[in-house]
Structure 1
Amino acid sequence: MSRIGYARVSTIDQDLDTQIAKLKAEGCGIIRSEKVSGASRDGRAELETILDFLRPGDELVVTRLDRLGRDTRDVLNLIYECEQKGAFVTVLDPHVSTRGEMGHIVLTVLGMVAQMERRFIKERQRDGIEQAKREGVYKGGKSRFDRDRILQLHRNGEGPTSISKAVGCSRMQVYRILRDA
């Protein structure tokens, strides 16, 4: 029986250290982490790795339920998959586990709250962007890639595949930047 920790933040500039420290303090022998959105399960390779290797009696531990996901259906499906393998899910804040029936009810409610919170965040973001546009101060989202570096690498003879690896983006993103330049 292993306690396997899972830590997740949504963006590259966010820090995983606090979550990892809490998971270590809880006795997690294995901790997998990633920096990817929790809006869906797409692209969450570390979480998939954990699910693939769960054995009966193992315990998946997260610091908060929204680290598993922000969509109620996704969270409930993850919990169901763990249970099908004979494993448990434990959330540290608030401390809830699927080892008991009451834990299932609480996790379902918390999953719904996480989804509602995501909707509120998106709504506030949309309102803020509209306000900034009305005031003429909206400059668009923060650029995630150094476009000048991509163009320079291309001028130096690098291909899209090697550029995408060097910059940390998809090849399609490189093609779009080159097309727009």
Structure 2
Amino acid sequence: MLVGYARVSTVEQSVDLQIEALRAAGCTKVFSEQQSGTSVKGRLKLDEAIEFVREGDVLVITRIDRLARSIGDLQDIVRQLKRKGVSLRATEQPIDTSTAAGKAFFDMLGVFAEFETNLRRERQSEGIAAAKARGVYKGRKPTVPTSEVVQLLASGMRPSDVARKLGIGRTSVYAARNMQQVT
């Protein structure tokens, strides 16, 4: 049996094209979800698909990055499938883990998928650092009532008591105090 798995990262994206391609490839059952590919945690439909497949089945994806973006996660998934006697195939890439060449190509593409994710993180970090240097990026707006924290501390209340009274963490109390001292 050919079983499909489709994934997009955000709710703004649609899995429709992937599902169409998987059906055209002969998949009789397709699992789909909208979830980030940077981790396999919380990917309920992926878990369901792996649980569903049986010996002799083929899990079909459109591209390797739809399955995972970490080489470790990709290899873990393939090992799970292999233990069940299931192979993996991609419709848009020459991947078929039932063959040595397909497995090698799978591993190479996995490395590139992880590399792409790491590059994206680096660019994001560089952008944030540049914005901070220009004074544009200040981080998330505080959710702690800074003035109230400072007022309670000034009245002689201990940080743990302030945290308990306001229902916040003690580190948030210190952060609010430090932020007030900076301004």
- 2:11 aligned residue: 12
| 2:80 equivalent to 1:81 | yes
Give the number of equivalent residue pairs.
142
Q: Which runs of 4+ in 1 moved over 6 A?
A: none
TM-score w.r.t. length of structure 2: 0.71
- 2:54 aligned residue: 55
| 3-state SS of 1:48 partner | helix
C-alpha contact (below 8 Å) 2:94/2:102 kept by paired residues: no
Q: Distance in 2 between matches of 1:139 and 1:37?
A: 26
| 3-state SS of 2:33 partner | strand
Q: Structure 2 regions of 5+ residues with no counterpart?
A: 141-166, 169-183
Offset at 1:139?
7.4
Offset at 1:135?
3.8
Q: Distance in 2 between matches of 1:42 and 1:80?
A: 17
Identity %: 39
C-alpha contact (below 8 Å) 2:15/2:32 kept by paired residues: yes
Offset at 1:18?
1.6
| 3-state SS of 2:59 partner | strand
Indicate the structure (1 or 2) with the bigger Cα radius of gyration.
2
| 2:21 equivalent to 1:40 | no
TM-score w.r.t. length of structure 1: 0.72
C-alpha contact (below 8 Å) 2:2/2:60 kept by paired residues: yes
Distance of aligned partners of 1:137 and 1:16 in 2 relative to their CA distance in 1, 3 Å threshold? farther
Q: Distance in 2 between matches of 1:78 and 1:48?
A: 10
Offset at 1:28?
1.0
Amino acid of the structure 2 residue aligned with 1:131: A
C-alpha contact (below 8 Å) 2:67/2:74 kept by paired residues: yes
What do residues 10-42 of structure 1 show as CA deviations (whole Å, max 9, x unaligned)? Answer: 122222122112111111111111111111111
Structure 1 vs Structure 2 CA RMSD? 1.9
Q: Distance in 2 between matches of 1:45 and 1:118?
A: 22
Distance of aligned partners of 1:68 and 1:133 in 2 relative to their CA distance in 1, 3 Å threshold? same
| 2:100 equivalent to 1:101 | yes
C-alpha contact (below 8 Å) 2:3/2:27 kept by paired residues: yes
Q: Distance in 1 between matches of 2:6 and 2:136?
A: 35
| 3-state SS of 2:3 partner | strand
Q: Distance in 2 between matches of 1:30 and 1:77?
A: 22
Q: Structure 1 regions of 5+ residues with no counterpart?
A: 142-174, 177-181
